[in-house]
Structure 1
Amino acid sequence: MAEITRRRTGELLRILFKLLMASSDGLPARVALLELENQVTLSEYESGKYDSGVRRFEKIVRFATVDCVKAGWLVKTKGVWLVTEEGRNAYETMSDPEAFHKQAVKLYQKWRATRPDAEPTTPEETDDSTSGKAASITLEEAEEQAWDEVSQFLHQMNPYDFQALVADLLRAMSYHVEWEAPPGKDGGIDILAWPDPLGTKPPRIKVQVKRQVQAISVEGVRSFLAVLGDDDVGLFVSLGGFTRDAIEAARNQERRRLTLIDIRRLYDLWVGHYKHLSDEARRRMPLRPVYFLSPEG
């Protein structure tokens, strides 16, 4: 990337970090890149494309973020980029863009030197194909695409099919689902389950399922808490997640036991218990693992 300087890369990184830090939960990679592009004026080189058709701007930023991840400044999970506390400190203490980028590169090289297949590098090394960054980016983009497809699939699912999916997951986790709400008003309970087939062992598990895009508010959590008895455990499943106030309300409960499950946790549970799902359950959200040679060894 001969047409891009360390200072310019550092400028892009610092603007990216500022955008990410403005969101407490981070931003999806594609959203972050779009917002970054709207904040800067791209040079002719940056706005151009490689022979593969990929825009240089996106590749420049993605390659630079690999350094930040290995530096411990940035976390990437299911397509979401989030600045860590170390990243915030680095942003505050190194205001010079070039110094900011150089330190990230230095920490990346320090990490790389600990790898079993490490090769000598220099601070000016820019051959990303040999440094392993190209493989990291390929894997990262594949994971983002996979997560986007899973998220879209779940959000477009019929509400009662989604409710059935949650019930299937509970069965795969060895719970016994006694009841699933039919269409119509359900009184705030969508699924009832027990640890044993006869329902003689506590706790009774009450589940509320929401497929909505919006985050559940604290009022929504409190409404669900009102239907939980002393011996109940509540599971609140929401694809749109929960507001911070809602999370705090659930966490600070002393008498009622409530677990909040957002789309990422639901997906992790589905993957973790996939082998225990029935064939019918798997057809609700079929998954197939694809294995890559990890750039991290």
Structure 2
Amino acid sequence: MAEVTRKRTGELLRKLFEILLQSQDGLQAGVALKKLADSVTLSPYEAGIYESSGDRRFEKIVRFATVDCVKAGWILKHKGTWTVTVDGVEAYNSITDPESFYKSAVKLYDAWKASQKGLSLQTSSQPEFGEEDSGGKSTSITFEQAEEQAWTEIEMYLLAMNPYEFQDLVADLLKAMSYHVSWVSPPGKDGGVDILAYNDPLGTVPPRIKVQVKRVTQRISTDTLRAFTSLIGNNDVGLFVSTGGFTKDAEEFARAQESRKVTLIDLDKLVELWIEFYGKLEDSARRRLPLSPIYFLTPPA
């Protein structure tokens, strides 16, 4: 039976780290794996397909190895995005031999595994990929792939939504959060404010909430955010919702504001709030972004 050596796994991992380090904010797992596959020559075994799932062995090999890296504290996985941590950068720079690199990750995984109740420290062996392993890696991979798929589908759904429907979605969310929405901008020029909301039905209790909504793929810059904050008065607070997120400079600009306070909400935070207040949404609002919980066995933390 064909094998995948630790040296080969280490080579793939180091190349993966190289690819991830080129992106400051990490990469979606699928994108990272494609870039990795395009940058190496796969062996016939690695390019082979599992008949049961239709997956290439290559993807499973890499995913199994990244579980070690996660428990080693070298990679952070969040909603399908893989990012190299500070410890991961240090390991990548200091352990240049591929086999030693992967062995170090495995050793740290074993230390984590031994810390779990009822387990003793022992050296892991490379599993036959595609089969269940006693360390729970298969559970971790199943969980992360499900999370990646769910998040990707939600993101694509929201990005494809009509801009004004997305604006109404944000207004619906504010209502579910017990704010009183007094105005939602109709199609056309809005002067930089898309939604007005208050803390009480009559709008007598400050602050007034001014909201700008952007259904975009690019990050919001400091200039765009500065233009919005210029519309925020002394008795206002600003809420800027952007599906594309914000640049680091824009985030710093928002934190530095004192008299003109503004809260930034990216796609990640928006979906978290939608899930948190889903039970308080009106039925018509839920239909804008209908979600259903599906339960998976949670991998050990």
The alignment's TM-score, normalised by the length of structure 1, stands at 0.95
Which letter maps to 1:75? L
Deviations 1:229-279 (A, max 9, x none): 122111111111112222222222232111111111101111111112111
Which letter maps to 1:48? G
1:102 aligns with 2:103: yes
2:289 match: 285
SS at match of 1:129: coil
Contact persistence 2:113–2:121 (CA under 8 A): no
Q: Distance in 2 between matches of 1:44 and 1:105?
A: 25
Contact persistence 2:173–2:281 (CA under 8 A): yes
1:19 match: 19
1:64 match: 65
2:248 match: 244
1:177 match: 181
Q: Distance in 2 between matches of 1:158 and 1:208?
A: 16
2:41 match: 41
Which letter maps to 2:225? V
Instruction: Give 1:81 shift.
Output: 0.4
2:74 match: 73
Gaps of 5+ in 1: none
Q: Distance in 1 between matches of 2:40 and 2:126?
A: 26
SS at match of 2:232: coil
Which letter maps to 2:269? R
Q: Distance in 1 between matches of 2:227 and 2:118?
A: 55
Distance 1:126 1:139, change over 3 A: same
Instruction: Give 1:51 shift.
Output: 2.4
Contact persistence 2:2–2:45 (CA under 8 A): no
Which letter maps to 2:146? A
Q: Distance in 1 between matches of 2:2 and 2:91?
A: 26
The alignment's TM-score, normalised by the length of structure 2, stands at 0.94
Q: Distance in 2 between matches of 1:260 and 1:25?
A: 17
Q: Distance in 2 between matches of 1:170 and 1:59?
A: 42
Which segment drifts farther, 181-190 or 111-120? 111-120
Which letter maps to 2:259? R
Q: Distance in 2 between matches of 1:119 and 1:146?
A: 35
Q: Distance in 2 between matches of 1:244 and 1:219?
A: 12
Deviations 1:77-102 (A, max 9, x none): 11100111111111111111111111
Q: Distance in 1 between matches of 2:143 and 2:119?
A: 20
1:274 aligns with 2:286: no
Give runs of aligned pairs for residues 188-227 of structure 1, distance below 5 A: 188-227=192-231
Give runs of aligned pairs for residues 128-143 of structure 1, distance below 5 A: 128-143=132-147
Instruction: Give 1:45 shift.
Output: 1.2
Distance 1:177 1:117, change over 3 A: farther
Matched residues, percent identical? 61
Q: Distance in 2 between matches of 1:282 and 1:132?
A: 36
Instruction: Give 1:64 shift.
Output: 0.4
